[in-house]
A and B are shown apart, each in its own frame.
Chain A
Amino acid sequence: MKKNRGKLIFILIFIFLALYFLYPTYRDYNFTQDLRKLTGKDSIEYLDQHEAAMRDAKSKRIKLGLDLQGGMRIVLEVNTLKLIEDLAKNKDDLFTGLMDEVKAQAKASPDEDVIDILLARFQAKQVRLSRYYGSIRDSDDDIIKRLRDETTNAVDRAKEIVRNRVDQYGVSEPSIQKQGARRIIVELPGVSNEKDVQELLNSTALLEFKLVTDPDIMIKVYDSIDKLLAGKPLNDSASAADSAKNLAAQKTDSTHAADSSLAKTSVSDKQAQEQAEKDHPFFTLANPMQGQNQGWSGDLFTAENDRHRVDRILARPDVQRLVPSEVAFVWEAKPRFTADGKKFFALHAVKKTAELTGGVIVNAKATIDPQFNTPVVDMEMNSEGSHEWARITGANVKKKIAIIMDNACYSDPVVQTKITGGRSQITGMADAEEANRLAIVLKSGALPAPVDIIQQVTVGPSLGEDSIRQGIWSAILALGLTVAFMVIYYSTGGTMADIALFLNILFVLGVLAAFKGTLTLPGIAGIILTVAVAVDANVLIYERIREESVTGKTLTAAIDAGYTRAFTAIFDANLTAFITGVILYQFGTGPVQGFALTLMIGIVASVFSAVVVSRVIIEMLIERGKHVSFG
Chain B
Amino acid sequence: MRFFRKTSIDFMGKRKMWYTISLTVILLGILSLSIKGFHFGIDFLGGTEMIVQFNQPADVGRIRTLMDNSGFPRSELKAYGNPNTILIRTLLQGEGTSVADRIKAELQKTFPDQNPRVLSEQKIGPKIGSELRRNALLAVLSSLIAMSLYVAFRFKFIYGVGALVALFHDVMVTLGLVSVLDGLTPYTNFEIDQNMIAAFLTIIGLSMNDTVVIFDRIRENQKIYRSMGLMELINKSLNETLSRTIITSGTVFVITTILFFFGGEVNRGFSFALTIGITTGTYSSIYIASAIVLDYTLRKLGRVQQTVATPKPHYETANK
Contact = CB atoms under 8 A, between A and B. Distances in A.
Same complex origin of A and B = yes
Interface of A: 67, 75, 77, 110-111, 194, 198, 202, 452-460, 462-463, 466-467, 470-471, 473-474, 477-478, 481-482, 485, 488-491, 521-522, 525, 528-529, 531-533, 535-536, 539-540, 543, 547, 565, 568-569, 572-577, 579-581, 583-584, 586-592, 595-596, 599, 631
A587 B139 contact: yes
B139 A456 contact: no
A59 B205 CA distance: 34
Interface stretch (B20-28, B71-79, B261-269): B261-269
A35 B37 CA distance: 52
The 6 closest A-B CB pairs, nearest first, are A580-B205, A470-B264, A454-B125, A587-B139, A577-B205, A576-B208
Given A458-B122, A460-B120, A575-B150, A194 B138 contact: no
A536 B2 contact: no
Contacts, number: 199
Contact of A579 (B123, B147, B220, B254): B147
A521 B243 contact: no
13 contacts: A454-B125, A458-B121, A470-B264, A477-B262, A488-B1, A522-B198, A525-B267, A539-B244, A573-B213, A579-B147, A583-B142, A584-B139, A592-B197
Most buried by B among A202, A470, A473, A581: A470
B136 A454 contact: no
A457 B125 CA distance: 11
Given A455-B124, A575-B150, A525 B139 contact: no
A565 B221 CA distance: 12
A456 B255 contact: no
Contact of B96 (A198, A525, A573): A198
Interface of B: 1-3, 51, 96-97, 117-128, 130-132, 135-136, 138-139, 142-143, 146-147, 150-151, 154, 194-195, 197-198, 201-202, 204-206, 208-210, 212-213, 216-217, 220, 240-241, 243-244, 247-248, 251-252, 254-255, 258-259, 262-264, 266-267, 270-271, 274
Contacts of B147: 576, 579-580
Given A456-B122, A591-B195, A470 B262 contact: yes
B271 A525 contact: yes
A539 B130 CA distance: 42
B23 to A, nearest CB: 26
Nearest to A479: B255
Contacts of B205: 576-577, 579-581
A590 B135 CA distance: 14
B127 A111 contact: yes
A589 B124 CA distance: 13
B267 to A, nearest CB: 6
B60 to A, nearest CB: 20
Contact of B198 (A462, A467, A595): A595
Secondary structure class of chain B's binding surface, majority of residues? helix
B149 to A, nearest CB: 10
Given A457-B121, A539-B247, A111 B130 contact: yes
Contact of A481 (B139, B241, B254): B254
Contact of B209 (A482, A528, A536, A586): A536
Most buried by B among A456, A489, A599: A456
Given A536-B209, A547-B240, A576-B150, A583 B255 contact: no
Contact of A525 (B124, B197, B259): B259
B248 A572 contact: no
Contact of A522 (B132, B208, B213, B270): B270
B36 to A, nearest CB: 24
B201 A580 contact: yes
Contacts of B208: 573, 576-577, 580
Contacts of B96: 198, 202, 453
Contact of A599 (B3, B202, B271): B202
A235 B262 CA distance: 82
Given A194-B121, A583-B146, 16 more contacts: A67-B266, A457-B121, A460-B119, A477-B258, A477-B262, A478-B258, A489-B1, A521-B264, A525-B267, A528-B259, A543-B243, A572-B154, A576-B212, A581-B205, A589-B194, A596-B198
Given A470-B263, A573-B213, A631 B1 contact: yes
Given A463-B119, A577-B206, A580-B202, A587 B255 contact: no
Contact of B248 (A536, A547, A581, A588): A536
A51 B117 CA distance: 34
